[in-house]
Copies of this chain bind each other. A is one copy, B any other.
Amino acid sequence: MFEKYNKVQRAVLETTLNIIIRKELQATSMSLIAKESGVSTGNIYHYFQSKEDIVNELYKAIVTFNGEYVREGLLQGRTIREQFEAGWNRVVELGQKYPQGFQFIEQYSFSPYIYDEVKQAVYTDGWCGPMNKLYEEAIQQKLFIPLNPKLMVQMHYGTLVYILKAHLQGIFELTGDSVQEVIRSCWKAVQLADDTITER
């Protein structure tokens, strides 16, 4: 997740993510980060400008990592339908394999603590751009109804985020089958009516 950083930076970022999810941004003090990461406060400031800088760097790193992970999935599919399924499956995998990073992005994507410039990274380094493209193509090929593709992507992302959230909160179990069912229903929600036959 933090390959491009050195040992100290990695320890700090990992620890910070850990504490923020476990406690709160409010309760995430520099002294606690120092204690848990094994890096002294003085040394932390050798590698980061400020606490804000740490949190924003963390945000950027996770968005980039998630972006690569999902884009890699998109490449696996040949047809639009396959890309659709592979892409959203990767999003769900992210939520399950890296729940802390997933929760962090979710909780702070609307926080004023994250700089606007860093938030924009979702479109440049994240997976939003390629996914929007895929939806545009699906509309052109008359697979999807003619709605704003960005709106549709948000819809489907929200769908998955919320079943993952509820799952992480223990409201219900999430089997591989039910995930597939949800992704299929996402397709069904926006598919053009006369495409119904190709649907299993």
A interface with B by C-beta (< 8 Å): 22-27, 103, 106-107, 110-113, 145, 147-148, 150-151, 154-163, 165-166, 169, 171-172, 178, 181-182, 185-186, 188-190, 196
Contacts and interface: CB of A to CB of B under 8 A. Distances in A.
Nearest to A173: B148
Contacts of A26: 25-26, 113
Given A26-B113, A111-B24, A151 B165 contact: no
11 contacts: A22-B112, A103-B110, A147-B178, A147-B182, A151-B172, A151-B178, A155-B185, A158-B159, A158-B163, A159-B159, A185-B189
Copies of this chain, count = 2
A172 B160 contact: no
A44 to B, nearest CB: 18
Nearest to A161: B158
Given A23-B112, A189-B189, 14 more contacts: A25-B25, A103-B110, A107-B107, A147-B181, A147-B185, A151-B166, A154-B163, A155-B163, A155-B185, A157-B162, A158-B158, A158-B159, A161-B162, A185-B190
A171 B186 CA distance: 21
B172 A162 contact: no
B147 A172 contact: no
Contacts of A156: 159
